[in-house]
Structure 1
Amino acid sequence: MIETEQTVTVNCNINSTWTYAKDFQRWASIMPGYQSCEMEDEDNSLWVLKVGVGAMVRTVKVKVCVVDWAGPERVDFTYKLLGDPVEGNGSYIATPAGSDQTAMTLKVRIVGSGPLAPMWEAMCGPVLPKFARSFAEQLKGRIEEFNDASAATTPTPTPSAKIGLFGRFTAWLRRCFGRA
């Protein structure tokens, strides 16, 4: 079994965050190798992903089931790779984090079975936190874009920031040698 928990701060209030996050088809579209998402009903979906390592690429089907809708604060789900000995569960947890911000936590647990499970878990263990963090950051970005929050909260770069390190260094040299 491998698991991770990743938290990001979304620059939207909890209700605006939920407006986007409650649609699991949107979650599926962020997954690497996304091919399609078929909603069977409100709680069950089938995600088709093309995954691979090096030259080995294959299509997997993931059955995702929401077991508890408690939004806007929480969603608990399970998933199972069809035809593979891998399943797991996870949670989406959201809490207000100040004025117009939401702390969004994603918890993911993967359980492999069969004789190759220890090797599979050893290989995937270090990758899962990075993957979950990347996924959480992408979800945050999509939520903010959907709510047009990123433009309102992104600071405008100062003139010195626009110049960059090399530009600032060159300007410093010019000042030092009287060519400013």
Structure 2
Amino acid sequence: MTVTDYQLTLDLPLQNVWTFLDDFNNWASFVDGYINHREINPLQSIWTFKGEFGLIEKSIRLRVDRVKTTHPYHMLVHFSSLQNKLSGEACLHANDFGNNETKIDATIKLKVKGMPGPLIRPIVKNMLPKMLNQLGKRIKTEILRKQPALIM
């Protein structure tokens, strides 16, 4: 299993940041390889990506299950490919640091199964931190771009 952590700090109030993050529709398209996603219900969706693993290019469909949590500003998501070759979870937590500063902590755990697993795991281990960093930068740019509209 590959585990990657990421942190991001924004000079915006927690509620404004969370309003953006809490809705997948605001940021799903920022994930590398994103093609589309379809909501089944408020806690389930199917996401489609084009994945490139070295010389291998493949379309991947993930079932994404958002787990209800009792903690505010906390998101836990379980995902698995419809082909059962990929599974994992993502955890996102936002903290108020006062003075309109918000810190976001994210962790992604990813497991590759099956025959191609041993070939793909090293690529994923190298690629995942870069993807998460890129996603964080895109989200930050978009939140800051929309910031005047988010402040109440």
TM-score where L is the length of structure 2: 0.87
The answer to whether the Cα contact below 8 Å between 2:47 and 2:61 also exists between their aligned partners in 1 is yes
- Which position in structure 2 is the counterpart of 1:49? 49
Please provide the CA RMSD for this pair. 2.0
**Aligned partners of 2:31, 2:142: CA distance in 1, in Å?**
13
Is 1:83 the equivalent of 2:83?
Answer: yes
- Which position in structure 2 is the counterpart of 1:171? none
Task: Report the residue type matching 2:123 in the other structure.
Answer: M
Q: Residues 121 and 137 from structure 1, CA distance in 2 versus in 1: closer, same or farther, beyond 3 angstroms?
A: same
The answer to whether the Cα contact below 8 Å between 1:43 and 1:67 also exists between their aligned partners in 2 is yes
CA offset at residue 70 of structure 1?
4.8
- Which position in structure 2 is the counterpart of 1:175? none
The answer to whether the Cα contact below 8 Å between 2:32 and 2:135 also exists between their aligned partners in 1 is no
**Aligned partners of 1:114, 1:56: CA distance in 2, in Å?**
15
CA offset at residue 142 of structure 1?
1.4
CA offset at residue 97 of structure 1?
2.2
Describe how 1:31-70 pairs up with structure 2 within 5 A: 31-53=31-53, 56-70=56-70
Please give the secondary structure, in 2, of the residue aligned with 1:115: coil
The answer to whether the Cα contact below 8 Å between 2:50 and 2:57 also exists between their aligned partners in 1 is yes
Give the length in aligned residue pairs.
149
CA offset at residue 92 of structure 1?
0.7
Q: Which runs of 5+ in 1 are unaligned?
A: 150-180
- Which position in structure 2 is the counterpart of 1:14? 14
14-23 vs 121-130, which moves further: 121-130
Please give the secondary structure, in 1, of the residue aligned with 2:32: coil
Describe how 1:55-134 pairs up with structure 2 within 5 A: 56-70=56-70, 72-134=72-134
- Which position in structure 2 is the counterpart of 1:140? 140
Please give the secondary structure, in 2, of the residue aligned with 1:136: helix
TM-score where L is the length of structure 1: 0.74
Task: Report the residue type matching 1:66 in the other structure.
Answer: R
Please give the secondary structure, in 1, of the residue aligned with 2:133: helix
- Which position in structure 2 is the counterpart of 1:159? none
**Aligned partners of 1:14, 1:25: CA distance in 2, in Å?**
19
Report the identity percentage: 21
**Aligned partners of 2:87, 2:60: CA distance in 1, in Å?**
13
- Which position in structure 2 is the counterpart of 1:2? 2
CA offset at residue 55 of structure 1?
6.2
Task: Report the residue type matching 2:58 in the other structure.
Answer: R
The answer to whether the Cα contact below 8 Å between 2:14 and 2:101 also exists between their aligned partners in 1 is yes
Higher strand share: 2
